[in-house]
Amino acid sequence: MSDAKVTGGVTEAPKAPDSAAAKANKRPKQTQAEGAAVILGYQRTLPDAPGVYRMFDHKGGALYVGKAKSLKKRVVAYTRLTGLDARLRRMVAATAAMEFTQTHTEVEALLLESNLIKKLKPRFNILLRDDKSFPYILITGDSEWPQITKHRGARKRKGQYFGPFASAGAVNATINALQRAFPLRNCADQVFRSRTRPCLMYQIKRCTAPCVGRIDKAGYDAIVEQAAEFLSGCSHDIQGTMSKLMEEASEAQDYETAVVWRDRIRALSAIQSRQGINLPRLGDIDVIAAHLQGGQACVQVFFFRSGQNYGNRPYFPAHTEEATERDVLTAFLGQFYAGAMPPGEILLSHEVEHPALIAGALCTRAGRKVTLTVPARGTKKTLVAQARANAKAALERRMAESATQRKLLEAVAKAFALDAPPRRIEVYDNSHIAGTNAVGAMIVAGPEGFVKNQYRKFNIKSEDLTPGDDFAMMREVLTRRFWRLLKEREERAAAEGLTDEAPAVAMAAEDAAVYAMANDDAATDTDEINSSRGGATKEVGPWPDLVLIDGGAGQLSAACQVFADLGVTGVQLVAIAKGPDRNAGIERFFVPGKEAFRLPPGDPVLYFLERLRDEAHRFVIEAHRARRSKRLGMSPLDDIEGIGPSRKRALLNRFGSAKAVAGAAIEDLESVEGISSELADTIYRHFHPEG
């Protein structure tokens, strides 16, 4: 083993054995002593300085990411096997290579560790699986008439942001309630500019209709300022001001205005009651509590901003079988705040490892002071206790749901004669209107319920397909999906030198174009990215144990033909068809080689399979509507090479419609600004190919 070297503050370790391992047909299992020897080989050249270390198996997969105050002292600890628990001994035995990054401070190492854990998702680290960005309320600042709206993602748009909120539902509920007290517009700028008369929101007193001049600029700006002050925590001051204005209007016998202020005061009271606990003196805090039970963990996070409760959200970290609450919270904080801005104070249910170090890292992240506290008395302790109770209840619900799900999967296996309960069920459906804008879709379910980040949609692309041919659509979708899975399996087998075990994929030349479409599949959510030793690779996902198709014998026959053509085996196919009147509860099931059958009415398995089918139907309908809406906004000009938004706008402004552009002469096209003689000729030939 060659020595590691240090360059510019980064210690670069030798790469994991790849070429030699890839060529070996069989690799004997490494012992714990051999893994410790690999680790010890790196220890000789490591500096006594802070940094981050990564462990990899012989395939290059990430095993563990850790940080250390001293890389030299921390890494050597893994070679003393008697002091390690069973989980760490398994990790050492699997370690074939390590990489190191030296940092200037331990705080930098902690921040880098959190980022790498989120990126690599090592299997021996405690992982935070849900890292979606949090939603905010935004009062825009890039318009003369500010808009109140929900915002998620990078805060690039000019305006005032309030949050974060625990969920999009919490934001929507708050905005709906806010509009009763502060009737600000929430329509998009394009809609706002095109209005010629007030919309329904004005009629129900949720907007003041600035689009058509029903309120002056000063009056609207006053409402904007009040809304911003309320969201900043000045709720009682705003309510007092409104009460005073209501009394003044009443004394002046302006009862209509008094009623307006009365309704807004009621709306403010409703918002405050919806927020739950309001603690104005606490300011901005997060309350984080952990609960462990049966080897599983739940971390509950409550968000308080400006003293108001903005909701809570449970998280269920992975790889917690042998962890303690202290371990879970320590791992959780780094990963959670790698993607979220920490508030000034964080209340915890348990002490964490190196609290001063974590607080320092969060201060660096936030650019201001952040404190970690485990409260022992008072209101803060009550908040933590409430969060712990919620964490316990959420985990118990999840465990109960998992137990129910396992029973259902066992019953599904029995109903369809599977060898074991399915770990992954894929459900397929198609949607179109008379063959137009055809879309196929796949949803995924397993022991934890629906796996929404694995959902996929397939825009039907074959030009030879007869419009409305559901069987051909199903063939295309399944071909694209399983050809891609087979290709991934072949590539993995070739990389590991197992070409003799790789499946043979027989593809006729005339089918190559259809198979090639698999590379263009669109996903509803970002595919999971697993970074492995210097690059990111897109995972298609594991193979299904059960494929459920919405349809009858015809759809099942099409699926069987695809599996036969591709050589797919070991996957159970089932088609589910509604009765003659399409009523739920009398579905028939079609399985290859068996007579169609029904499950007893009221059978939990029947209800479970109906839910799967209905979820696939919902998802594919949404995909179809989205594609149809997109097509409605398209123009024949979009198909012409060289015509972008600016030139398209210029042509439509000049001729009035795409039909008029199609009938224009080359000389008329050349007269449009931005249209050269060559482009004018291209446009003309697009509409007159025979000429």
Domain annotation covers residue 92: yes
Domain annotation covers residue 14: yes
Choice between 566 and 656, residue whose per-residue pLDDT is larger: 566
CA distances from 253 to 247, 249, 389, 548 (A): 10, 6, 52, 69
Looking at the fold, whether 588 and 683 belong to one and the same domain comes out as no
Lowest mean pLDDT, pick from 195-204, 252-261, 494-503 = 494-503
Q: Which domain holds residue 678?
A: 636-687
Last residue of a domain, one of 239, 274, 309: 274
| Residue 55 amino acid letter | M
Domain annotation covers residue 70: yes
CATH of the domain at 661: 1.10.150.20
Looking at the fold, whether 530 and 434 belong to one and the same domain comes out as yes
> Nearest Cα to 100, choosing from 150, 64, 151, 131?
64
The answer, yes or no, to whether residue 223 has pLDDT greater than 80, is yes
The answer, yes or no, to whether residue 94 has pLDDT greater than 50, is yes
Domain annotation covers residue 410: no
Looking at the fold, whether 93 and 139 belong to one and the same domain comes out as no
Residue pLDDT, tens place only, 678-687? 888 888 888 8
Last residue of a domain, one of 255, 274, 293: 274
- The helix/strand/coil state of 646 is helix
The answer, yes or no, to whether residue 387 has pLDDT greater than 50, is yes
Interhelix angle for 32-43 vs 86-94, to 10°?
A: 70
Q: DSSP states of 112-143 as a string?
A: HHHHHHHHH--TTS-B----PPPEEEEEESSS
> Nearest Cα to 315, choosing from 394, 396, 400?
394
Looking at the fold, whether 619 and 644 belong to one and the same domain comes out as no
Q: DSSP states of 441-494 as a string?
A: EEEEEETTEE-GGG-EEEE---TTSPTT-HHHHHHHHHHHHHHHHHHHHHHHHH
Looking at the fold, whether 191 and 233 belong to one and the same domain comes out as yes
Looking at the fold, whether 508 and 615 belong to one and the same domain comes out as yes
- The helix/strand/coil state of 204 is coil
Cα 229 from Cα 238, distance rounded (Å): 8
Residue 599 Cα to chain centre, angstroms = 35
Choice between 233 and 256, residue whose per-residue pLDDT is larger: 256
Q: In the chain, how long is the greatest CA-to-CA distance?
A: 92
Cα 648 from Cα 673, distance rounded (Å): 11
Characterise 549 by phi-psi region: left (phi > 0), alpha (psi -120 to 50), beta (else): beta
Residue pLDDT, tens place only, 421-430? 898 999 998 8
Residue 71's Cβ-side half-sphere holds a number of Cα atoms within 13 Å equal to: 32
Choice between 640 and 133, residue whose per-residue pLDDT is larger: 640
**Percentage of the chain exceeding pLDDT 90:** 8
Domain annotation covers residue 297: yes
The answer, yes or no, to whether residue 524 has pLDDT greater than 60, is no
Looking at the fold, whether 471 and 619 belong to one and the same domain comes out as yes
Domain annotation covers residue 126: no
How big is the chain by its Cα radius of gyration, in Å? 31
Question: Residue 427: what pLDDT?
Answer: 93
The answer, yes or no, to whether residue 323 has pLDDT greater than 70, is yes
Question: Residue 74: what pLDDT?
Answer: 87
> Do 579 and 599 form a contact (C-beta atoms < 8 A)?
no
Q: Which residues contact 397 (CB under 8 A, 6 or more apart)?
A: none
Q: 379: pLDDT confidence band, cut at 50, 70 and 90? A: confident
DSSP 305: E
Residue for token pair 């949607």: 431
> Nearest Cα to 579, choosing from 594, 598, 595, 593?
598
Q: DSSP states of 517-559 as a string?
A: GGGG-EESSPPPEEE-SSSEEE---PPPSEEEEES-HHHHHHH
Question: Residue 444: what pLDDT?
Answer: 92
Question: Residue 276: what pLDDT?
Answer: 43
> Do 242 and 264 form a contact (C-beta atoms < 8 A)?
yes
Residue pLDDT, tens place only, 34-48? 888 888 888 777 878
> Do 438 and 463 form a contact (C-beta atoms < 8 A)?
no
The answer, yes or no, to whether residue 75 has pLDDT greater than 90, is no
> Nearest Cα to 617, choosing from 431, 412, 426?
431
Domain annotation covers residue 416: no
Lowest mean pLDDT, pick from 8-17, 193-202, 615-624 = 8-17
| Residue 39 amino acid letter | I
Looking at the fold, whether 380 and 433 belong to one and the same domain comes out as no
Choice between 265 and 587, residue whose per-residue pLDDT is larger: 587
Looking at the fold, whether 569 and 491 belong to one and the same domain comes out as yes
| Residue 358 amino acid letter | I
Characterise 624 by phi-psi region: left (phi > 0), alpha (psi -120 to 50), beta (else): alpha
Looking at the fold, whether 580 and 455 belong to one and the same domain comes out as yes
- The residue-averaged pLDDT of 656-673 equals 82
**Percentage of the chain exceeding pLDDT 70:** 79
Mean pLDDT of the chain: 77
Beta partners for residue 347, in sequence order: 287, 373
Cα 450 from Cα 447, distance rounded (Å): 9
Choice between 523 and 116, residue whose per-residue pLDDT is larger: 116
CATH of the domain at 81: 3.40.1440.10
Domain annotation covers residue 415: no
Looking at the fold, whether 509 and 448 belong to one and the same domain comes out as yes
Task: State yes or no: cis peptide before 164, omega within 30 of 0.
Answer: yes
Which string of b and e fits 270-301 if b means at least 16 CB within 10 Å? Answer: ebbeebeebbeebebbbbbbbbbeeebbbbbb
Beta partners for residue 99, in sequence order: 54
Looking at the fold, whether 451 and 599 belong to one and the same domain comes out as yes
Question: Residue 405: what pLDDT?
Answer: 83
Strands (E), 181-335: 285-293, 296-305, 308-315
Interhelix angle for 355-366 vs 325-336, to 10°?
A: 20
Question: Residue 235: what pLDDT?
Answer: 59
The answer, yes or no, to whether residue 540 has pLDDT greater than 50, is no
Choice between 21 and 96, residue whose per-residue pLDDT is larger: 96
- The residue-averaged pLDDT of 21-38 equals 68
Cα 140 from Cα 79, distance rounded (Å): 57
Last residue of a domain, one of 341, 364, 399: 399
Cα 311 from Cα 275, distance rounded (Å): 7
Question: Residue 17: what pLDDT?
Answer: 43
Number of domains in the chain: 5
Choice between 119 and 170, residue whose per-residue pLDDT is larger: 119
